[in-house]
Amino acid sequence: MKVFADQLPAALAKSLPKVVIVAGDEPLQHRDACDAVRAAARQAGIEEREVLDVEPNFAWGRLLEVASNLSLFATNKLLELRLGQHKLGQEGSKALAEYAQHLDNNDDLLLISMGKLDAKQQKSAWFKALDKHGLFVPVWPVDVSRLGYFLRDRASLHGLQIDLDAARLLGERTEGNLLAADQAMQKLALIHPQGTRLSAESIAQGVEDSTRFDVFTLADACLKGEPSRVSRIITGLRSEGVEAPIVLWALTRELRTLLSLHQHMDQGQSFEHACKAQKPMIFDKRRPGYQKATQRLPMKRLHKLLLMAQRLDLAVKGASPVPLWPGLHDLAMTMAGGRGLLAESAWTYRVAPSF
């Protein structure tokens, strides 16, 4: 049964399952979910714990061997299988499917912590067999629109109260890095008395910028039309050493997708059908961003933006005078509905023909 991370403690309090699968790439919520399972196990009287770290050439027979070993001191135990970003493979899938066959006669609690599981993996035999007996906890990054509320509510865990404006500022300074946000609140809890209500000024003085971005975050901000955030992300990507061609690839991909959406809709298709026609298909979560972008960027504008992208590609190859990172900034800002920094003359030039 699927249970989201914030609902997990309540689900565990009702009854302790035989299997909990925590899957996702956001480390803070992933850690909290695993800690909640361990706490529930202790509350249920499970004191013995076995940890199996899956590494290259891991012997999957150990899982079944450890599960079948009877303890001298306890009737059941918590068995942790930590995959990290390692893939199950055929051997791992087979071992988990076999483990599931013996769950009716097994009182142990199996905690599987792993990276993100896609829709195809959730239809596999091993997943379906284990899901019947337990909980599946998908861990998703907190959307930027909810980040302030998430941090405001989380402050109470550290004995603090945070105004919504202060929580949003903390979110801006730690976006993409919830562990840094949590560490900042721990630090603030040491400085201020319990129950203190923190203002935006307190956050500004006490929290350094620890944001972490990736090109997919940039693409989403461009689609949603968030110019100020786009500018901040571009600056962050450059300072983190992300290669300019990767940024250009992400922006160009979104431009081509938007152009394809326009073409399908011009043929009489609805926006929903146009999204389904894309390869890969645009999922529900990203559709509002694409819808805003198609309304903001007509086909004529998209063609001009693709010409900008083409000239930036030439700049990557040393065949264009357009300054690369300022050019990427202008391309992303224009996609988001903002204004660039470069003069128009920087973009209007002709490439000399090669013979």
Q: What is the pLDDT of residue 285?
A: 85
Domain assignment of residue 319, given as a range? 215-341
Q: What is the maximum span of the chain, computed from C-alpha positions, in angstroms?
A: 82
CA 237/CA 215 separation, integer angstroms: 8
State the CATH number of the domain containing residue 309.
1.20.272.10
Is residue 350, in this structure, part of any structural domain at all?
Answer: no
In a domain, 354, yes or no: no
Task: Indicate the pTM of the whole model.
Answer: 0.72
CB distance 176 to 142 below 8 Å: no
Q: Order of strands, edge to edge, in the sheet holding 48-53?
A: 48-53, 77-84, 109-114, 19-24, 134-139
Give the chain's residues under pLDDT 70: 70-74, 343-355
Residues 182 and 240 in one domain: no
Q: Is residue 355 part of a domain?
A: no
Examine the domain organization and report whether 16 and 131 are in the same domain: yes
Task: Report the DSSP beta bridge partners of residue 24.
Answer: 139
pLDDT of amino acid 354: 36
Position 350 scores a pLDDT of 46
Length of the chain: 355
3-state secondary structure of 114: strand
Q: Say yes or no: 198 and 88 in one domain.
A: no
pLDDT for residue 249:
96
Alpha carbons 164 and 118: distance in angstroms, whole number: 34
Kindly state whether residue 349 falls inside one of the protein's structural domains: no
| Beta strands per DSSP E along the chain | 19-24, 48-53, 77-84, 109-114, 134-139, 161-162, 197-198
pLDDT of residue 222: 96
pLDDT score recorded for residue 10: 92
Phi then psi dihedrals of residue 30, to 5 deg: -60, -45
Do residues 178 and 111 share a domain? no
Same domain, 265 and 185: no
Q: Please indicate, yes or no, whether residues 167 and 220 belong to a single structural domain of this protein.
A: no
The total number of structural domains in the chain stands at: 3
pLDDT of residue 312: 94
Residues 105 and 134 reside in one and the same domain? yes
Q: Residue type at 296? A: R
Are 259 and 325 in the same domain? yes
CATH number of the domain to which 202 belongs: 1.10.8.60
Cα separation, 337 vs 221, in Å, equals 11
* Claim to verify: residue 227 and residue 168 sit in the same structural domain: no
**Do 60 and 149 have their domain in common?**
no
Residue at a domain's end among 183, 206, 229: 206
Verify that 198 and 264 share a domain, yes or no: no
**How far apart, in whole angstroms, are the C-alpha atoms of residue 335 and residue 222?**
6
Return the SS3 of 18: coil
